[in-house]
A and B are shown apart, each in its own frame.
Chain A
């Protein structure tokens, strides 16, 4: 029987799992015992599976996602926020100009114009809400980047993969931080009437 491969000490940097399995197969290959043959078949299947997983992970190009796609997506979203902010301020500039002109008019048209420009300002609150929603998406992209970093670091080494599971966990916020979830999605967000009812009931 061939010598068994060296078993690495716990925590030591070592050969990839598939190489370890291949070494073990090679060590057992000369043995004709039925149990050992069964073990070799199982190990070969395991080795093939590990290779397949490696190929699949590599094919998904996690490094490209990490270094190109995710940063690009975050930049695009930031651009959306900036563009909508600029547009909103331009709209408000125009509304304020109309309000100034309205002051030169008689009461009735003045009131009508002020009423309509006030509606413009109310509508402009969309920019604040969309900005906060986009910020939440950017935060989600950051989390995905962190997960990819873990995947990239741990690729090919089972011990590091297990360690990465712990570092990849996003700790749940506590205390006041747990109250910072931003705007809720339409349908989930409370109406002002619901807020009022809740407020009065507390």
Chain B
């Protein structure tokens, strides 16, 4: 079954440039229903206020990091099964291990290509 391109996607990123890039690349892949948050706490507020189908989050943000957001999401009974992709420049082994152990759905290291983004979306959501 093909991915529903009308799904609600939440991008969590504090760099406006990267927000815009992610939004544009997702648009190119057919996703139009996109919302934004500038850190984990704002994202958590939005996730609890309305249903989303996918979270794409940076790691390094203030006051709440993407990693903290991931743990909050996985600890929430209503949100814990939410597909969650980390897109970050943090590429150390301990980061990937910690994110995987915390329940991240997939992990993209910056800088990345549209092909990589598409491959990870396919891995998490299913074929386009």
Contact = CB atoms under 8 A, between A and B. Distances in A.
Contacts of A122: 21, 25, 111-114
Nearest to B62: A180
A155 interface: no
Given A122-B25, A180-B90, A202-B96, A129 B109 contact: no
A128 B17 contact: yes
B122 interface: no
A181 B92 contact: yes
A85 B18 CA distance: 10
B111 A129 contact: yes
Interface stretch (B1-9, B43-51, B76-84, B100-108): B100-108
B89 A89 contact: no
A189 interface: yes
Interface in B87-126: 89-98, 100-101, 106-114, 116
Given A183-B89, A190-B91, A202-B96, A128 B106 contact: no
B89 A128 contact: yes
A198 interface: yes
The residue in A180, A195, A202 that gathers the most chain B C-beta atoms within 10 A of its C-beta is A195
A85 B90 contact: no
A118 B117 CA distance: 12
B25 A89 contact: no
Given A180-B90, A182-B89, A192-B116, A198 B96 contact: yes
Contact of B67 (A125, A127, A179, A198): A179
A92 B97 contact: no
By secondary structure, the A interface counts as helix
A114 B65 CA distance: 33
B111 A202 contact: no
The residue in B25, B60, B65 that gathers the most chain A C-beta atoms within 10 A of its C-beta is B60
Kindly state the interface size class of chain B when it binds its partner: 35 or more
A183 B68 CA distance: 19
Interface string A39-69: 0000000000000000000000000000000
Given A132-B60, A192-B109, A85 B93 contact: no
Contacts of A20: none
B111 A126 contact: yes
Contacts of B108: 192, 195
A70 interface: no
The 7 closest A-B pairs by CB, nearest first: A183-B89, A125-B111, A202-B100, A190-B91, A128-B18, A127-B17, A128-B15
Interface of A: 85, 88-89, 92, 95-96, 114, 118, 121-122, 124-129, 131-132, 176, 178-184, 189-192, 195, 198-199, 202
30 contacts: A92-B21, A95-B24, A118-B25, A121-B25, A122-B114, A124-B17, A125-B18, A125-B21, A125-B110, A126-B111, A128-B89, A129-B110, A129-B111, A178-B94, A179-B59, A180-B60, A180-B65, A181-B92, A183-B91, A183-B110, A189-B91, A189-B109, A190-B91, A190-B96, A192-B108, A192-B112, A195-B91, A195-B96, A198-B93, A199-B96
